[in-house]
Structure 1
Amino acid sequence: MPEDLAVDRTVNTSSIEKEELIAKRKSKKEKERKVTRKKRGFLRKGEDILDVSIHAKGGKIERGPNAHDDSDNRFVWCSALLKMSIKSLWLEFRGCRNYKPPKYTCDEYEKKRNDIKNRYNDIICMDATRVKLKARNPKDDYIHANWIIMPDNQKYICTQGPVAESVEDFWHMIFTERSNVVVMLCNFVEGTHEKCYQYFANELNECTVFGIYSVTVREFYEDDPTGTLQHKLIEVEVLGKILQVHHIAILDWPDHIAPISPLAVVTMLKLARMLCEGRPITVHCSAGIGRTGAFVGIDYGSQKIRKDGKTTMTSVLKDLRHQRLQAIQSPIQYTFLYICILEMFVQEGVVAREGAVLDYYEAYENMIKKYQKTYKEKQADG
């Protein structure tokens, strides 16, 4: 990586002002973390707030035109899933919810100097797979991000939504890793809480500067058939060098919940894979583990299933957590992962979009609607 990126990043602010800024930020973060812990505690008990004994009607499973035969690994997996109840998926998640890889370390995450770069204090970035910022001093190479590598060797960078103190690092990571696709799975603000610092301007051709990086939205695309995605072309410039980045955001995936339909998310994944040209795909939500883990899990899980129709989502979750600790936070996200992989194989013509598939989608939709209602009632009760 060019040495000219290792420049002095001193901000034109006095040391006293810096200390005051850091103190205010830490105070604000501590207040936010107390709220976050409360919400995450509720989330961990998510399977207890809803009666999920919702079953599909049990229609016939029809093989699609592109399944090789009944022994096609994808068809084998779909057939097994369509015989399972939604409740059984939640119970399956309960069995692996607390899984952590053995003997992992998180030394860089725990260093005091990096505390201000972490959005949450209960979401850990482990050392083994962390993304090290290139062209930086070893004491300044930390960002809350990890590599996840697919069976086909496609690389994903899974990261938190940047905070004000890490937004330059965020763009530095994207630029130096030549990541030309960024997938955003949250909104900048959800409810009254900041979920992600705004790291580009809203207006076309409006330039925003983050340290040494100039960031400009150059184009808005209208190529989304689902109506819930936003696709932009962003130009990142530093020291006369330019990287063009496709930014794909979903507008309808609230934290702790999941979309009613898998269509937009599967479309998003296919678009990201098509545009990345083999380069790393950067994915983030707010914490970078829940929605992010489910999204990356679609690609990872579908690839594993193509090779082995008996692949379990439990094994997929564990593989993901060996690379991004705490990936997939809730039973609702775990269930959505199943639904998205099913949709992927439906679109590939492995199983027909009729009978058992439509019944299963209906059961999932009923569960989501019931969950959303229960979740909102719990929030209203405090």
Structure 2
Amino acid sequence: MDLNKQWWVSGMRYELMKPFYELKVQPTLPEDSGNYRCRLEADPLFAQDIMSHVTPLIVMVKPPSPSKPQITSYSERNVTLTWTHTIAKAHLPILKYSILISQLEADNIEVILTRNNISTITINNLKPYTRYAFSVRAENAAGHSNFGQEIVFRTMGEAPKIAPKIVSIVNGSDRCVDVKWENQNKSNLEVSGYRIMVHRLGSGDMREWYFKTTSNSLCSLGYHQDYRLSIEADNGFGYSPSVTQIFKTDIGVPTSPPQITSILSSTSTSVAFAWKEPKEPNGPINYFYVYYYPIKNPSQITKLQLKFNHEDHAKGYVHNITKLSSNTAYKIEMTAQTEKDEKYGESIASGMFEKYCKSLQANDNALYTEQFEELSKESEKMEVEGTSNSCEDFQQKNRYLNIGAYEGTRIKLSGNNTSDYINANYIDSCENKKAYIATQAPLPNTFGDFWSMIWQEKCNAIVCITKMVEKGRRKCDQYWPSDKKIPEVINGFTLTLTSEISNAYFVHRIITLKSSKCMLPERTVHHVQFTAWPDHGVPDNVFPLLSFMNYVTALESNGPLIVHCSAGVGRSGSYILIDSIRKHLSKSDYVKIQAHLRHMRKQRGKLVQTLEQYIFCHEVIKQLIKNGNTRMPTKQIMNYVQYLVESKDQGRSGIQAQYEDVCKLFIMAEAIFDEEEHEFYLSPKHAEYPANEGGASRHLMVNSSQDRIVIKIKCSNNAVYRISPVYTALEPGEAQRLQIVRDPGESRIDKMVVQYMFSKVKSPHEAFLSANPEIIKRMMIVLIAHNKHPQFSQPRIAPPGVMVNSGTSQSNVFGVQMNSRAGANSYMAGGNAPKGIYRQGTKKNIKSSKRL
């Protein structure tokens, strides 16, 4: 208190009330706080202590709001806050603080108090991965402040607490199981994916996948094996407890033939031989098939079906063939059949496929007819949506009233205001699910549905196997633009024809597709129309079709391959069946045409509509196995001709055998090559690997010029790819293999850039360091890593650079000489097996080859 103040001065907030015994302060302010002393004025001679009195005065106001709280620590279910508070004496003492907690997504509000005036607190029992707002207010004896500035914070997420639930495990396509499961976690933190682990019981083998969906196919499993499946949910903050289940994979087809071990004895009319089971039987063997025929007369083939019940398979098997002609050389071939073969059709070794076709062809195609009628009876039992049992809206979208889409496999359009129906079905290949879409030729009222399907399924290749009009009847309506560079709008899609190239048997159109319904960039769609296949009939010969299929395979493809004819069953089914078996031959030496067609017909009815088409499919595969993929760059023709001249089969050279085929069939030779490959050839220009397993690929580099070429190879992703060589040089006419090894990793697309130039500098590395960038030329290899099984564009049978003679493939063969002298057991072990394989030598002249 200021003793110099004149309290009695008028006009002040301090008023001395008469008769001088009361002091009034109005209004009071914080600075009025202090000790007030009242003293009685008297003669100093008579002054006493009781003549003065001190009275304290405290003026208190509500405190200001504390500062914005800060987060000092946190976890999934708690958070620690601290704050500061700037106050004056008039605000003291602070009694406590209140914290306002707001759960933003749920509008839940809660206020909690501190036990004293400490400026920190830990808040518990919060929800994981939830946004909260926190603010603080202070309280003293005068009242409480407003809540201060809030801080918004999301708590940490925590791993799911509940394991997923397995709904079903069903054996699907070859070496695959189809698994469905459900998420059981109900927290606000969404599950982002699932970790799938499969352990093969009795071994340390383990496979792992990561999916974002709740159903998928697990492939590349062993046949007839017991596995433990484990599924864990992932929300980005950890994995849930796992749910496990034991399952057994389906029986498969033997991947190798039985092993003929020895000829035990032979007479003038019989021979006894021994064999063992295939190295990979892939299930219990039900039957062995023995094929034998005179080497000089292969048409006299005899087939035996043998069944053995003993359990000790390690001891092997023995059989005696009787009623043979004396003094005759025989060839013996064997295959094995499991329960799956017996149920779904016999697996035929590619080397025996031609003889198999002859047996089907005998007696006026008796076995062909029997197989086809059996398939037709099974197909009649399938119910079809879109035919007589369908609503009128579906019937209006079908070109033919008796051909619709099976409900279980049909494509369901999303975003359509009227109906999700389109007359189209997913079709599996031998290795991959939903590899194709078989559909009818679009009607004018379904053009929009058709292009919606192309956009939805992310397809960029359409195979059309029909003309607009055939035999005076409308078979297809033109659903693509007619004029180049003039856009055409169909149901919200803008189509522009950018290119149209006509070939002898097909037309290749390139169309850009842009949707007005979204902001995604335009897409390029390849439309290839094969014009040499009549309705309900077959092409005149197989080779234009095989060449066309190789052409289509070379196109960049993302989604399923769209295939349609007029009805989407006869020619479309035949194309899909042939193409699927053709790609399967790049990985296996066994084919099962009848079994795969049976599977295809469960997905869409009437596929391969006529007996003639069924026979034609066998003929195409037979010619493919026999002749291989003869579509190659012209610079490799000398290597191929050398192989044809040197290879021998039954006394004929390969070139003589081909000439005889040419005389029987009108074969159109085709040589397609890139312009730049006149000087440097690189093949193949793409490679596919399973992302979660990794793999390796080999590529052929050929110097087709007259000058020395130096090469440098660069990769866009050195973290997972290893290449050999990185630098190299090729003399004129020289060839070398490029090996690319990919380590396991995530699914993605990378590229390998092969740089080359003409140079006489000895060191390729020094040549590139001193080179003018303008003279460096480039080629690119596209590297695709995904978790699907890769589809190779080249058949395994005689691809360019790897020549295989026409001997038996994947079939154990023994040649036996029957002698007229009884008891003689001389024989020719091996016969034409193992087959001769000619492969272009590494770092050797392109004209040379070596036998493995």
Does the alignment reach a TM-score above 0.5? yes
Q: CA deviation at 1:355?
A: 4.7
2:520 pairs with 1:233: no
State the TM-score, normalized to the length of structure 1.
Answer: 0.68
CA displacement at 1:110 relative to structure 2: 0.9
CA shift digits 1:77-96 (9 cap, x unpaired): 23422454273234542343
Q: 2:489 aligns with which of 209, 233, 243?
A: 209
Amino acid at match of 2:399: R
Question: Which residue of the partner structure matches residue 106 of structure 1?
Answer: 385
> How far 1:106 sits from its partner (Å)?
2.2
Give 1:140 deviation, angstroms.
Answer: 1.4
> Aligned to 1:121, what secondary structure does the other structure show?
coil
Is 2:353 the partner of 1:80? no
The aligned residue for residue 274 of structure 1 is 554
Deviates more, 1:140-149 or 1:240-249: 240-249
Counterpart check, 1:347 vs 2:623: no
For residues 358 and 296 of structure 1, what CA distance do their matches in structure 2 show?
Answer: 29
8 Å CA contact 1:77–1:309 kept in 2: the answer is no
- State the 1:236 CA deviation: 1.2
**Which residue identity lines up with residue 235 of structure 1 in the other structure?**
T
Q: Are the aligned partners of 2:386 and 2:398 in contact in 1 as well (CA < 8 Å)? A: no
- Single out whichever of 87-96 and 279-288 deviates more from structure 2: 87-96
Please, which of 140, 147, 151 is the counterpart of residue 419 of structure 2?
Answer: 140
Query: 2: distance between equivalents of 1:247 and 1:325?
Result: 25
Picking from 248, 260, 283, the partner of 2:528 is 248
1:178 shift after superposition:
1.0
Task: Say if 2:447 is the partner of 1:167.
Answer: yes
CA distance in 2, matches of 1:309, 1:140: 44
Q: 1:149 aligns with which of 428, 432, 445?
A: 428
Q: Quick one: which amino acid aligns to residue 285 of structure 1?
A: C
How much has 1:116 moved relative to structure 2?
1.1
What is the deviation of 1:134?
2.7
CA apart distance, 1:251: 1.4
Three-state SS of the structure 1 residue aligned to 2:525 is strand
How many residues align? The count is 297
Q: Which runs of 5+ in 1 are unaligned?
A: 1-57, 62-68, 366-382
* Structure (1 or 2) with the greater helix fraction: 1
Q: Which amino acid aligns with 1:248?
A: V
Match of 2:458 in 1: 178
Higher strand share: 2
SS at match of 1:135: coil
1:99 is paired with a residue whose SS is helix
Within 5 Å, give how 1:40-119 maps onto structure 2: 73-82=349-358, 84-85=360-361, 87-88=364-365, 89-100=368-379, 104=383, 106=385, 110-119=390-399
Q: CA RMSD in A?
A: 3.5
Deviation at 1:339, TM superposition (A): 1.7
Alpha-carbon contact 1:147-1:155 (below 8 Å) kept: yes
- CA gap of 1:192–1:107, structure 2 versus 1, over 3 A, is closer
- CA 1:249–1:107: 2 relative to 1, 3 Å: closer
Aligned mates of 2:426, 2:392 — CA distance in 1: 23
Distance in 1 of aligned mates of 2:298 and 2:510: 44
Helix, strand or coil at the partner of 1:97:
helix
Q: Report the residue type matching 1:230 in the other structure.
A: V
Determine helix, strand or coil for the equivalent of 1:100.
Answer: helix
CA distance in 2, matches of 1:364, 1:115: 42
Q: 1:311 to 1:152 in 2, by over 3 A?
A: closer
Q: CA deviation at 1:259?
A: 0.6
Match of 1:322 in 2: 602
Contact 1:90 1:335 in 2 (8 A): no
Q: Does 1:294 align with 2:574?
A: yes
Could you say which residue in structure 1 is the equivalent of 2:206? Answer: none
Q: 1:191 to 1:178 in 2, by over 3 A?
A: same
* Larger relative contact order, structure 1 or 2 (CA cutoff 8 Å, min sep 6): 1
Unaligned regions of 5+ residues in structure 2, if any? Answer: 1-295, 300-332, 336-347, 631-646, 668-852
Using the alignment, how far apart are the partners of 1:133 and 1:152 within structure 2? 26
CA gap of 1:128–1:59, structure 2 versus 1, over 3 A, is farther
Q: Is contact 2:379-2:601 (8 Å) kept?
A: yes
1:140 aligned counterpart, secondary structure: coil
In the alignment, the residues of structure 2 paired with residue 358 and residue 313 of structure 1 have an alpha-carbon distance, to the nearest angstrom, of 27
How far the C-alpha of 1:279 sits from its partner, in A, is: 2.2
Indicate how the Cα distance of structure 1 residues 362 and 343 shifts in structure 2: closer, same or farther if over 3 A, else same. Answer: same
1:194 to 456, 470, 474: 474
Shift of 1:268: 2.2
What CA distance in whole angstroms lies between the structure 1 residues aligned with 2:421 and 2:621? 33
- Name the structure 2 match of 1:219: 499
Report Cα offsets for 1:243-279 as digits up to 9, x if no partner: 1111111112111111111122222222222214342
Which amino acid is the alignment partner of residue 568 of structure 2? G
Q: Cα gap change, 1:173/1:76 in structure 2, threshold over 3 Å: closer, same or farther? A: same
Q: Name the structure 2 match of 1:9.
A: none
The residue type paired with residue 628 of structure 2 is: Q
Q: Hey, what's the Cα distance between the residues in 1 that align with 2:603 and 2:663?
A: 30
Larger mean CA deviation between 85-94 and 278-287 belongs to 85-94
Q: CA deviation at 1:189?
A: 1.6
Distance 2:395 2:536 in 1: 24
Preserved CA contact (<8 Å) 2:459 2:560: yes
1:284 aligns to what? 564
Distance in 1 of aligned mates of 2:665 and 2:369: 14
Contact 1:59 1:356 in 2 (8 A): no
**In the alignment, residue 436 of structure 2 is paired with which amino acid?**
Y
Local SS of the residue matching 1:324 = coil
Give per-residue Cα distances to partners, 1:132-156, cap 9 Å, x unaligned. 113335x511100000021231611
1:123 matched residue in structure 2:
403
Distance in 2 (alpha carbons) for counterparts of 1:181 and 1:303: 17
Residue 175 of structure 1 and its aligned partner are, at CA, apart by: 1.2
Aligned sequence identity (%): 25
Letter in 1 for 2:619: I
State how far apart, in whole Å, the 1-side matches of 2:586 and 2:358 are.
17
What secondary structure, in the 3-state scheme, does the structure 2 residue paired with 1:110 have?
coil
Bigger radius of gyration: 2
